[in-house]
Amino acid sequence: MKEQLLKMLAEREGAFVSGEEASRLLGVSRTAVWKQIRRLMEEGYTIEACRNRGYRLAGSPDRLTAAGLLSRLRTTSFGRTLHLFDEVGSTQDIAKRLAEEGAPEGTLVIAELQTSGRGRMGRSWLSPKGKGLWMSLVLRPDVPVLCTPQLTLLVAAALCRSLRRQTGLDIGIKWPNDLLVGGRKISGILLESSAEEERLRHVIAGVGVSVNLEPDDYPPELKDKAVSLRMAAGRSFDRTETAALFLESLEELYGIYRRDGFGPIRLLWEAYSVTLGRPAVLKTPDGMVEGVALGLTAHGALRVRTADGSEREIFSAEFVS
């Protein structure tokens, strides 16, 4: 009810909704409407209440709220089961536990602050309070374990597409799933999966987007490697919008993947890639590989042409340069 009311107010774009109209559309008493208005105000929404005109949404909090996100979401399932926290160790751990307890596909765990956010290759992930999107989504793709790299690339393509749309920034994907702007990283993706008999049982897609961080939020060692959307664009962004657009984009691409396979996702990823056609030095579990990245294979591996003219397929590696 609170979400519906908020949605109604937001759709009026700052115009008044009368108490009578709200109570009619929501099918509740005017007192019940007023109670929900008070709750929204307590959550940080600025709502003008005018005796003869009704209610008007004049401002939203800079804090993520369940009501704000749910009222903005246009997805069928992604993000609809929502667990929002002020502070957690890592959203990955909470999502993993929920998945093991049977949480439905699309369950989202999101936190304002992570005290032990983790990245790929055992690194930590900077997750300051209220400045970014630190979230983990439960997926149940029912595909062979072999397809895990495809899912990683799918999440990167979905995020790249939604962030480009929201910000207008020229964001590209560095293989496999780092999003860069001007050569600096703005987001990271970490997929952790659990499998049974060679099929994926669930995947936790962890996504960190540095939305509104300021230069002082970064430690010296990250200053020339990482950047936020705000620093790159020179303006701040509404994190609820960032989350909603990403979930919509991911749900759409995930639907395409399940229906038509990896082909369309591969094309989209390649279109956003900043890796292809460039020389690359990669540290793989089997040693160093040097060459030019050509594209993706049908399984989601990176095709690299080495100096001797042969082609290698790389599933997992770290860029040295």
Q: Which residues bind ligand BTN (CB under 6 A)?
A: 90-92, 114, 117-120, 123, 125, 127, 134-136, 178, 188-190, 206-208
- What is the smallest separation between the CB atom of 2 and ligand BTN, expressed in angstroms? 26
Which residues 6+ apart lie within 8 Å of 27 measured at CB? Answer: none
- What is the smallest separation between the CB atom of 139 and ligand BTN, expressed in angstroms? 14
- What is the smallest separation between the CB atom of 88 and ligand BTN, expressed in angstroms? 8
Which has the closest alpha carbon to 290: 308, 306, 310, 274?
Answer: 306
State the residue number with the nearest CB to ligand BTN. Answer: 188
Cβ proximity to ligand BTN: between 9 and 211 the closer is: 211
Cβ proximity to ligand BTN: between 155 and 253 the closer is: 155
- What is the smallest separation between the CB atom of 260 and ligand BTN, expressed in angstroms? 27
Residue 211 and residue 133 in contact, taking contact as beta carbons nearer than 8 Å: yes
Cβ proximity to ligand BTN: between 33 and 203 the closer is: 203
The one-letter code for the residue type at 239 is: R
Instruction: Taking the CA atoms of 34, 38, 39 and 43 in sequence, report the sign of the dihedral they define.
Output: positive
What is the CA 89 to chain-centroid distance, rounded? Answer: 18
Q: How far is CA 163 from CA 187, 248, 274, 311, in A?
A: 10, 12, 16, 33
Cβ proximity to ligand BTN: between 123 and 305 the closer is: 123
Token pair for residue 196?
């049974």
- What is the smallest separation between the CB atom of 40 and ligand BTN, expressed in angstroms? 27
Cβ proximity to ligand BTN: between 6 and 156 the closer is: 156
